[in-house]
Amino acid sequence: MHHKMTILAIESSCDDTSAAVLVDGIVLSNTTSSQKIHEQYGGVVPEVASRQHHIDIVPVVNHAMSLAECQFKTIDAIAFTRGPGLLGSLLVGASFAKALALALDKPLIEVHHMKAHIMAHFIDEPKPNFPFLCLTVSGGHTQIVKVNSGTKMVVLGQTIDDAAGEAFDKTGKMLGLGYPAGPEIDKRAKLGKAVFTFSESKLPGLDFSFSGFKTSVLYFLQKEKKKDSDFIDKNLNDLCASIQNAIIHMLVSKLKQAATQTGITEIAIAGGVAANSGLRTTLLTMANELSWKLYVPDIQYCTDNAGMIAMAAWFKFQEGDFSDLATSPDPRWAMDEA
């Protein structure tokens, strides 16, 4: 009788505590506890986040195990996010995973958070074929990656300053929207028209930059508010549509460039900003025009979750790529080192 390979995965890189159980490459449970406390601060407070992970991790892991109808003694490996992320948050997940691996005498698998976002594509059908290009966009990262296999990836371009998700949040703050602002901008953009233009960075190659764009939005708003103090309130939906349109344009034009350069037509998007409906719609239109095969993960696998950590670990498990107990979190772990 075939022994089923079971992986318990833990994700704690930022402000979501998540656990998942994967059996033979299939995610049976994916449980996440999101921290609402940061909304009042307008951003994630690292110290608060790590304390909350301490409180949440045991109930979240137990819940994932019971949903998968799995017992600890049947686990074959324990996976965790080693980085990148907030050090305090990563420490909670890593310490828990190491303690459990030691107690159960099971191997440990360290996972790179950004690689896991890409591996989320292998949770459900349809799955991309190697090699494919993945545009990974989240609050902390923006990159175009050439994915050669489940473990071998090359970063072709990335942001030299802010991430796209950060550009959404910071411009949203200028408009007086709450944190995180991305979903609110997305919602309002549907009700407005992209009538305002902002300067977009013209970086050579496949790298991104969003800091100049943010400054451009700031100066524009300051100038217009001098003329009319209610300018933002009167034009909120159009401003949201214009900001979203500009960010999406910067993202997809580089992706198109990467596809042309590599000749790859299997295209995927991942990360929290991949949940943005404007980005999804724009890419679907482009995919039809350029004969791309576009892959977009289910919304629950776009934001930080342990299901994607489990899937990335599954590929490493098959290669026998395990970590020892001396491994420690690396908040700035580079993808090409992973």
Q: Per residue in 105-137, pLDDT tens?
A: 999 999 999 999 999 999 999 999 999 999 999
Q: Per residue in 176-235, pLDDT tens?
A: 998 889 999 999 999 999 999 999 988 989 999 999 999 999 999 999 999 999 999 999
Mean pLDDT (whole number) for 301-323: 96
- State how far the Cα of 94 lies from the Cα of 18, in Å rounded to an integer: 13
Q: Which residues contact 197 (CB under 8 A, 6 or more apart)?
A: 242, 246
**For the domain 127-296, what is the CATH superfamily, name and number?**
ATPase, nucleotide binding domain (3.30.420.40)
Buried b (16+ CB within 10 A) or exposed e, 305-314: bbbbbbbbbb
Percentage helix, strand, coil, to 5, in the chain?
50, 20, 35
Model confidence at 1: pLDDT above 70: no
Q: Which residues pair with 189 in a beta bridge?
A: none
Q: Which residues contact 335 (CB under 8 A, 6 or more apart)?
A: 112, 114, 115, 143, 145, 153, 155
Phi, psi of 316 (to 5 degrees): -70, -40
Name the DSSP letter for residue 160: S
Q: What is the pLDDT of residue 299?
A: 86
C-alpha distances in Å from residue 79, one per residue of 112, 131, 142, 230, 336: 10, 25, 24, 51, 19
Order of strands, sheet of 77-83, starting from the edge strand that comes earlier in the sequence: 26-34, 16-23, 6-11, 77-83, 108-112
* Boundaries of every domain in the chain: 6-118+302-337, 127-296
Is 282:247 a contact under the CB 8 Å cutoff?
no
Q: What is the pLDDT of residue 202?
A: 83
**For the domain 6-118+302-337, what is the CATH superfamily, name and number?**
ATPase, nucleotide binding domain (3.30.420.40)
Model confidence at 331: pLDDT above 70: yes
Model confidence at 330: pLDDT above 70: yes
Query: Would you say the CATH fold of 127-296 matches that of 6-118+302-337?
Result: yes
Name the DSSP letter for residue 109: E
Pairing between strand 132-137 and 26-34?
A: unpaired
Helix (H, G, I), strand (E, B) or coil at 143: strand
Name the DSSP letter for residue 214: H
Model confidence at 88: pLDDT above 70: yes
Is 228:180 a contact under the CB 8 Å cutoff?
no
Q: What is the pLDDT of residue 212?
A: 94
